[in-house]
Amino acid sequence: MTEVGRPIILTCGEPAGIGPELAPKALASAVPFVFLGDPRHLPPDTAWTEVTTPDEPVADGVLAVLRHDFPAPATPGRPDPANAPAVIEVIARAVDLAMSGAAGGICTLPINKEALKRGAGFRFPGHTEYLAHLAGDVPVVMMLASTSVEPPCRVVPVTIHIPLAEVPLALTPALLEQAIRITDAAMRRDFGITRPRLAVAGLNPHAGENGVMGDEEASWMAKLIERLQRDGFDLRGPLPADTMFHPAARARYDAALCAYHDQALIPIKTLDFAGGVNVTLGLPFVRTSPDHGTAFDIAGEGVADAASVIAALRMAHEMAGRR
């Protein structure tokens, strides 16, 4: 039976990827949601019906579709540049629905960053930065959260989609402090954790080993953490990243702040690729996403696993219920 609550908008993402074939499978989530996209991109055997508002009732087992017509059909694995602007429009339309209160939040199916950049000059590295812009250029944080391992694995890449060579300059005390503050607030508001325990990973091997393998930890990270501890944050670190993710280590914190993308995403995608959820913290509306991408190599084959999008819809529904 489908749960009650304001519906979540499920954006179609890249129509040449696995997103559209995951939409009907996501009905297994039992979360009220509406697919926003072009129904021509759904698998031909999909039972769907068009709705004009997110809360319009539909029969059980039928996918509700808020129609957004694209210029071109979709060929699995081969993004059509003509469709790129509509992929972006769908995200903006979903945000409008969430900001107006017509929806409980949004759950985004994956986009292909290269296809959007080449097809529409998309200037954002991903949803996260685009959503922050649409919300009024608010500061946000990307978090990936497991849903099927214990203790949970929740990771925040403090720097996100930048070349590794740029990380040491981009990782500033101000950026790390902002990420700590946003994560702490969101763990309370959206995850119901009353006193979040946060762990900060060092940048260098062995967290610098007292300056012999890099000095960011000793020169500023430790001082920032001490100051924020005095302000009342439950913080530990900088910790050696290689020993932060085994079960006993994860039991000591609720979320880990990591210096760069792969330091954060390798542990979660290794521990819980199927159940991992990407959440944007700090937005005025709820946004989740499956942790995977467009998977062009399997698109159209009908084999894509819907576990992550189901987990993402459930997490969005729970977060919306807490707000």
**Does the protein bind ligand LD2JLWAY through residue 11 (CB under 6 A)?**
no
128 binds, among ligand LD2JLWAY, ligand NAI, none (CB under 5 to 8 A by kind): ligand LD2JLWAY
* Site residues (CB under 6 A) for ligand NAI, limited to 8-47: 18
Nearest to ligand LD2JLWAY of 64, 316 (CB atom)? 316
246 is annotated as contributing to ligand binding: no
Out of 261, 292, 314, 317, the only residue in the binding site for ligand NAI (CB under 6 A) is 292
295 binds, among ligand NAI, ligand LD2JLWAY, none (CB under 5 to 8 A by kind): ligand NAI
Cα gap 167→159, rounded to integer Å = 7
**Does the protein bind ligand LD2JLWAY through residue 278 (CB under 6 A)?**
yes
Contact pattern from residue 211 through residue 250 relative to ligand LD2JLWAY, giving x for each residue in contact according to CB under 6 A and a dash for the rest: ----------------------------------------
| C-alpha distances in Å from residue 197, one per residue of 46, 127, 215, 237, 250 | 44, 27, 25, 11, 10
Backbone angles phi, psi at 271, to 5 degrees: -75, -35
Tokens of 117: 């950049």
Written as one letter, the residue type at 75 is T
Give the residue from 175, 124, 150, 106 showing the smallest Cα distance to 271: 150
H helix intervals, 100-238: 113-120, 127-134, 167-170, 173-191, 216, 222-230
Out of 95, 104, 289, 317, the only residue in the binding site for ligand NAI (CB under 6 A) is 289
Written as one letter, the residue type at 209 is E
**Does the protein bind ligand NAI through residue 304 (CB under 6 A)?**
yes
Out of 11, 112, 183, 288, the only residue in the binding site for ligand NAI (CB under 6 A) is 112
Nearest to ligand LD2JLWAY of 126, 152 (CB atom)? 126
**Does the protein bind ligand NAI through residue 297 (CB under 6 A)?**
yes
Give the residue from 119, 137, 32 showing the smallest Cα distance to 70: 119
112 is annotated as contributing to ligand binding: no
* Site residues (CB under 6 A) for ligand LD2JLWAY, limited to 128-167: 128
H helix intervals, the chain: 19-25, 84-99, 113-120, 127-134, 167-170, 173-191, 216, 222-230, 247-250, 261-272, 307-322
Name the one residue in this structure whose structure tokens are 């006193």. 195
Nearest to ligand NAI of 239, 299 (CB atom)? 299
Binding residues vs ligand NAI (CB under 6 A) = 18, 110-114, 127, 278, 289, 292-295, 297-298, 304-305, 308
